[in-house]
Amino acid sequence: MTEKEKCVAGLLYNANYDQELIQERITAKDLCGEYNQLKNSDTEGRTSLLKKILGKSGQNICIEPTFWCDYGYNIEAGENFYANHNLVILDCAKVTFGDNVFIGPNCSFYTASHPIDAKQRNEGLETAHPIQVGNNVWFGGNVVVLPGISIGDNSVIGAGSVVTKDIPDNVVAVGNPCKPVRNIEP
């Protein structure tokens, strides 16, 4: 089994020393670097480059520079996706965003997790767990979403939150750790 196959299977894999994964990260980061240097007025160039970076996206997508990811091909964004400045998506596993997702500045989505055991960690081993974001979700600024999290439709994640557990549909959730504080009624 290759390191990439282990990653996809959710097993411990070697991200730091596997040449295939290293090269894929270099390619994605080069494309992100190119994207971050484009003029804001070059909307056609920005959209075209995002289509190269991301695995799948809707037609109406905007990510303000700067944007960084690990692989890109593991990111899927639906229609009407908007992310403000300084978005980081560590997409060792799938990160899926539904339609009408709005992300404030300085937000991060991390699928990689490292062993608590120092020996394993020092060997470059890690695991990756997917993140799933529903439709009509809004993230305030400075939100961090940890590996393996699902966030339900129509929910709002308050600024500065660290999402460590799944968030259901139709709630406002805030804090560190992030917890639902009220339901959203139609």
pLDDT, tens digit only, all 186 positions of the chain: 999 999 999 999 998 889 999 999 999 999 999 999 999 999 999 999 999 999 999 989 999 999 999 999 999 999 999 999 999 999 999 999 999 999 999 999 999 999 999 999 999 899 999 999 999 999 999 999 999 999 999 999 999 999 999 999 999 999 999 999 999 987
What lies within 8 Å, CB to CB, of 127 at 6+ separation is 7, 10, 11, 12, 13, 112, 113, 115, 147
The pLDDT value given to residue 185: 85
pLDDT value of position 47: 94
Residue whose tokens read 């992300």: 103
Catalytic residue numbers, as ranges = 114
29: domain CATH number is 2.160.10.10
Structure tokens at 76: 């899927």
pTM: predicted TM-score of the whole model, two decimal places: 0.96
Q: What is the pLDDT of residue 76?
A: 98
Q: What share of the chain is helix, strand, coil (3-state, %, to 5)?
A: 20, 30, 45
Residue-number span of the structural domain to which 92 is assigned: 3-183
Q: Are 12 and 126 in contact (CB under 8 A)?
A: yes
Number of domains present in the structure of the chain = 1
Which DSSP state fits 167? B
Under 8 Å CB-to-CB from 84, ≥6 apart: which residues?
64, 103, 104, 105, 107, 141
φ, ψ (nearest 5 deg) of residue 20: -60, -45
What b/e readout covers 95-112, taking b as 16+ CB neighbours within 10 angstroms?
A: bbbbbbbebbbbbbbbbb
- Do 139 and 102 touch, CB atoms closer than 8 A? yes
